[in-house]
């Protein structure tokens, strides 16, 4: 099967490309490299022995994107491309709506024109908004997210629901994943943010190698066991495996399907700091800051549906993820 992966040089995209290649899929990557580097392709090739076909194209550029569809023939798409920082989306909402909705509508129009009938969409746990209870189940209401980034995910889910209702031959999987952490065990690939990290793990690893003085923890007065935010942290390799399992599901023509991809367990920020110190032996100094706008107190998944229908379950724990993330950071102190 030949698969288009948009955003395939990013953190989750590149790990998924590796798993696709290992499972004998042919991969074509489209990425504008706004939050990733072309050197990722060299590292994918080093790990797998295969260099995926690559187009430096912005999915928002309809004509350039259409050119890729004219050259290549796809049987499925995994759609990662998009802006993804919660805090930045609060400051730049228009840019987030234009980019994330524009790129997705272009993709769906091209899929329709060229007869591509399967899409796996990189959604997010943010679609659940402020949870009334945890863990979260796939049939919990999706009403409104707490930030513009999350709202783009809510809107794209609705677009895909409508598209599947209109075209009974279209198969779409909405993968609501929680907080990806870790890195490829080789240390060749991992989370490589531009500037100050928005996510917890790369911030911790940059403190661990002395690149930053201390970790800033956003809030310690949430209604959680230690007052810090609780999230479901999933190893990125587990997440990548989940995408391969989902592609196999779409071959059965299920129409629209929704899955949570997480570990099913919540971990607080302070628990993560302690786990990192235990896994690596490195002390992480931190300060407590004001809570960030758009953050929720606790967010973790029930993943029974993915286990039952996809045969997928997270294998790695937070200690594995801490070790692998630190290994990547040590080998790539200035990123890829």
Residue 275 has phi, psi (to 5 degrees) of: -65, -40
Known catalytic residue: 222?
A: no
| DSSP 8-state class, residue 170 | -
200-208 and 269-280 helices, crossing angle to 10°: 40
And the tokens for 50? 């295969």
Which of 55, 96, 128, 149 is the catalytic position? 149
SS3 103: helix
The distance of Cα 253 from the centroid of its chain, to the nearest Å, equals 24
CB 257 within 8 A of CB 265: no
Measured distance CA(138)–CA(297) in Å, rounded: 19
Query: Cβ neighbours of residue 108 under 8 Å, at least 6 residues apart?
Result: 119, 159, 160, 163
Please give the positions annotated as active site: 149
């Amino acid at each position: 099967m030949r698969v288009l992966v948009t955003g395939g040089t990013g953190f989750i995209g590149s790990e998924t490309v590796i798993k696709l290649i290992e499972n004998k899929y042919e991969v074509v990557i489209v990425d504008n490299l706004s939050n990733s580097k072309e050197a990722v392709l060299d590292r994918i090739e080093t790990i797998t022995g295969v260099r995926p076909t690559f187009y430096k194209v912005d999915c928002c550029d309809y004509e350039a994107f259409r050119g890729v569809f004219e050259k290549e023939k796809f049987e499925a798409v995994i759609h990662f491309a998009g802006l993804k920082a919660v805090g930045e989306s609060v400051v730049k909402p228009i840019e987030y709506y234009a980019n994330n909705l524009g790129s997705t509508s272009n993709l769906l129009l091209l899929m329709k024109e060229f007869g591509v009938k399967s899409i796996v969409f990189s959604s997010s746990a943010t679609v659940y908004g402020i949870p009334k209870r945890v863990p979260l189940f796939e049939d919990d209401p999706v009403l409104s997210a707490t930030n513009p980034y999350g709202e783009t995910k809510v809107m794209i889910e609705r677009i895909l629901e409508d598209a599947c209702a209109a075209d009974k031959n279209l198969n779409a999987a909405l993968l609501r994943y929680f907080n990806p952490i870790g890195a490829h065990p080789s240390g060749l690939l991992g989370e490589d943010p531009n500037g100050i990290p928005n996510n917890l793990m790369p911030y911790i690893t940059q403190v661990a190698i002395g690149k930053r003085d201390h970790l800033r923890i956003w809030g310690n007065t949430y209604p959680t066991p230690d007052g810090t935010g609780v999230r479901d942290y999933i190893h990125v390799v587990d997440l990548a495996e989940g995408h391969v399992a989902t592609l196999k599901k779409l071959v059965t023509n299920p129409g629209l399907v929704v899955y949570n991809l997480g570990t099913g367990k919540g971990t607080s920020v302070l628990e993560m700091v302690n786990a990192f110190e235990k896994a690596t032996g490195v002390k992480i100094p931190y300060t407590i800051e004001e809570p960030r706008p758009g953050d929720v107190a606790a967010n973790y998944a029930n993943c029974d549906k993915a286990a039952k229908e996809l045969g997928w379950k997270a294998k790695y724990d937070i200690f594995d993820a801490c070790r692998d993330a630190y290994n990547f950071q040590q080998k790539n102190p200035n990123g890829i």
